[in-house]
Amino acid sequence: MSRIAYVNGLYTPLRDASVHVEDRGFQFADGVYEVCEIFGGKIIDETRHLARLKRSLAELSIRMPVKEGALKVILRETVRRNRVRNGLVYFQVTRGSARRDFVFPAADTPPTLVVIARPVDRTKVEAGAAAGISVITVPDNRWERVDIKTTGLLPNSLARQKAKLQGAREAWFFDEDGYVTEGAASNAWIVTKENTLVTRPAESGILRGITRTTLIDLAKRDNFIVSERPFTVAEAKAAREAFITAATAVITPVVKIDDTVLGDGKPGTLAIKLRAHFHSVAEHST
């Protein structure tokens, strides 16, 4: 089956989908995006993803391309046309197309909206989570406004490529003081020997992950202690467990950081338990 994309009001085969050559997302990375998990045909945590989208747009003075209700319809229709039961839906908004200039185009320039959806093999994903992943650590060289989910992801891409070349799945950034900020495409967590869940505060240095937020809800429901504080690379390597959170990874155990194997090299029991119960607290679209 040919995949279908939504681009500025039209559903079209993915192979034919395109935006204008002077779209500011293409030329300046002048746009934002969101990725939602599709689980059992439902969009997971849609309300929080849309709220973060609107915040990112507001921070960059980009207007919503359509009303929120219309965007929800577009997301569902894109998922339906691609027959995705388990997978991802990606949506991106840019400032639109205009003559190339560093300053913003006229206020009436229509934003560009692109939506795509694709399935994932849940059997393969679960097998990967059951084995755990390796991460490497790299200096954080991104701009300061990482709280905005922009399409300017070159440092993240370079970090992930470096991880791949070293046989790892993810890269964790660390700041000038040696504290882990976040992953190139995820939030970073450790579990202390006292069974406390630790993740960096979202007030600075990281994106406030949606899966991260929902996991905190799950931890509170099940009476786990969450400590939002910085932790160093050294502390992470000495932790009882570690894991990442993201819409594309849900909760995935980390079994190795750089050359350090965590514990017995197997996924931690707490991370496995949290992953198993995540969707019991996450929002499922109607």
Nearest-10 crossing angle of helices 269-277, 210-221:
100
* Secondary element (H or E) of residue 214: helix 210-221
Asked if 137 contacts 168 with a C-beta cutoff of 8 angstroms, the reply is no
Q: Which tokens sit at 278?
A: 């995540």
Asked if 197 contacts 271 with a C-beta cutoff of 8 angstroms, the reply is no
CA–CA dist 103, 152 (Å, integer): 17
Tokens 């198993």 identify what position?
276
Give the closest residue to 224 by CA, choosing from 249, 246, 243, 203.
243
Q: Is 60 exposed, middle or buried (0-12, 13-18, 19+ CB in 10 A)?
A: middle
The residue from 67, 72, 124, 149 that is catalytic is 149
**Catalytic annotation on 149?**
yes
Please identify every residue annotated as catalytic. Answer: 149
